[in-house]
Amino acid sequence: MTTVEETILSPIGKEGVGPNEFGYYGKFGGAYIPEMLHPNVEQLKTRYLEIMAEPSFQKEYQELLRDYVGRPTPLFFAQRLSKQFNSKIYLKREDLCHTGAHKINNTIGQILLAQKLGKKRIIAETGAGQHGVATATVCALKGMECVVYMGEVDIERQAPNVARMKMLGATVVPAKSGSRTLKDATNEAIRAWINEPVHTHYIIGSVVGPHPYPDMVARFQSVISEEMRWQLKEKTGAELPNQVVACVGGGSNAAGAFYHFINEPAVRLIAVEAAGHGINSGMSAATTQLGRAGVLHGSKSLVMQTEDGQVIEPHSISAGLDYPGIGPMHAHLFDCGRGTFLSVTDEDSLTAAFELAKLEGIIPALESAHAFSALKQMDLKEDDVTIVCLSGRGDKDLATYMRSMEQAPALKGV
C-alpha cells in the first residue's frame, strides 16, 4: 500500500504537497487527453511551476489578490454559532471575495499564466455560471477575448449569471448535446480547445481535469489556508485548528482550505459532499460514497457511473456541488483516509443556511451551507477549534431560499 507520505506529500516546488511528476495522487490523477491537446497540456505542465515562481508573476498575482479580489479575507470568530455548538468555530470569509466566492483566486492566477504563455483567447465551461462569471471578470480586467460554454438548460435556469457574463463582454455559447448541462458544456469547451489550441487557454474552474490542472488550481486556492494559519495564530496564539471543514463539488475551495494543513496530521480535514435527496435516493452527488474509479474530464478519479461506465447525472440543490466526480487529490485523501468525507442533504443544507443567517447575519451560498450543516454530524469538543470555509455568499441562491420560505415557513423560522 502506498502511504500518504509517499504520494500526496511528494515535494514539487518549495512548499508543495502536489502529485508526482505524472500528476498522480496515489491511484488518482494523470492526464487522459486527446492526442490533439497534447502540446497544450505538455506546455502547461512544463511551464506552470516555473511561471508561478517568477517574481514578476508573484508580484502581480499578490497585488491583484489584495487590491482586486480583496484579500486577505477575514477569519471571523462566530460567537453565537460557537455558543450553539459549545465549541470554537471560525469562518473563513471567501464570501467576501470580489464576485462572491473563492473561484476568482483561481481565475486571476490562470489569466496571468495565460498571458505569460502568450495566449490571446480564453475559454471556459460553466454549470451554474459562477465560474463563467469569475472567468469573464478576469478577461475584462485583462482585455482578453472570452468564450464560455454553458449547457442550454443551464442558460435558461441561470439567466442572471448569463446576463453578468454578457455584460462583462464574454460570449456565451450554448451546449446543445446530451443533457445540455455542465458535462456537455465541458465536452464543448474541450472540442473548442482542440480546434484552436495555439492561441487559446482553457481556464478550468476546479481541481479537476488533466494534470497539471488539479495541482495548479490547488496552488492558486492555497492562499486560503496560508492566510488561515497566520490569522488563527494572530487570534489564538496557535496556528493549527483541530479541524477544517469545506464543501466539495470538484473540490477547489476544500483543496485551498486543506492545502497548508495536509502535512499536519493533528488537523482533521473534513470534506462535505452533497447527498441531494439522500445518498441512496438516485438523486445525489455524494461521489466518494457512490463512485468508482474511472476517467472523467481528463483525469482518473472517483466517478459516479453505471455498471458499464456511463456517467450518472448527479443531483444537488446547489449547482456548485452538482458534479458526478471529484478532484483526484480528494479521491486520494478519501482513499488513504487522510480526509473524512461527510454528506449533507438538500433539506439539511437549506436549514443550515437559514440558521447561519439568523445566528451570524451571514447568508451563505447553498454550497457553503452544506459545510455548516456537517457541524451537526461532528462530535465537537468544548476546546476544539474548527475553521469552516465559507466558500461563497448566498445572493445567487435567493430564489431557492424564497421558494423554501414559501413552502415551509415555520421550519425556516420566518
Asked if 109 is part of the footprint of ligand PLP (rule: CB under 6 A), the reply reads no
> How far is Cα 65 from Cα 67, in angstroms, rounded to an integer?
6
Binding map of ligand PLP across residues 254-293, x = CB under 6 A, - = no contact: ----------------------------------------
CB of 289 to ligand PLP, least distance (A): 16
Active site residue 125: yes
Binding map of ligand PLP across residues 332-371, x = CB under 6 A, - = no contact: ---------------------------------x-xx---
Asked if 106 is part of the footprint of ligand PLP (rule: CB under 6 A), the reply reads no
CB-based closest residue to ligand PLP: 392
Q: What is the dihedral of CA 298, 129, 115, 145, to 10 degrees?
A: 110
> Cell 439568523 identifies what position?
358
Quote the cell numbers at residue 288.
Answer: 466518494
Residue 88 or 208: the one with the smaller Cβ distance to ligand PLP is 208
> How far is Cα 354 from Cα 356, in angstroms, rounded to an integer?
6
Burial of 7 (0-12, 13-18, 19+ CB in 10 A): buried
Piece in contact with ligand PLP (CB under 6 A), picked from 30-38, 242-250, 278-286, 343-351: 242-250
- The helix/strand/coil state of 119 is coil
Asked if 212 is part of the footprint of ligand PLP (rule: CB under 6 A), the reply reads no
Length of the chain: 414
Residue from the set 249, 291, 298, 328 that interacts with ligand PLP by CB under 6 A: 249
Residue 87 or 99: the one with the smaller Cβ distance to ligand PLP is 99
Residue 135 or 368: the one with the smaller Cβ distance to ligand PLP is 368
The arrangement of strands across the sheet holding 88-93 comes to 75-77, 88-93, 385-390, 243-247, 268-276, 339-345
Q: CA triplet 229, 339, 250: central angle to 5 degrees?
A: 90
Asked if 248 is part of the footprint of ligand PLP (rule: CB under 6 A), the reply reads yes
Number of residues that bind ligand PLP (CB under 6 A): 18
Give alpha helix (H) positions in 281-338: 287-290, 328-335
Residue 52 or 248: the one with the smaller Cβ distance to ligand PLP is 248
Pairing of the two strands 145-151 and 292-296: unpaired
Which of 45, 88, 103, 119 is catalytic? The answer is 103
Asked if 250 is part of the footprint of ligand PLP (rule: CB under 6 A), the reply reads yes
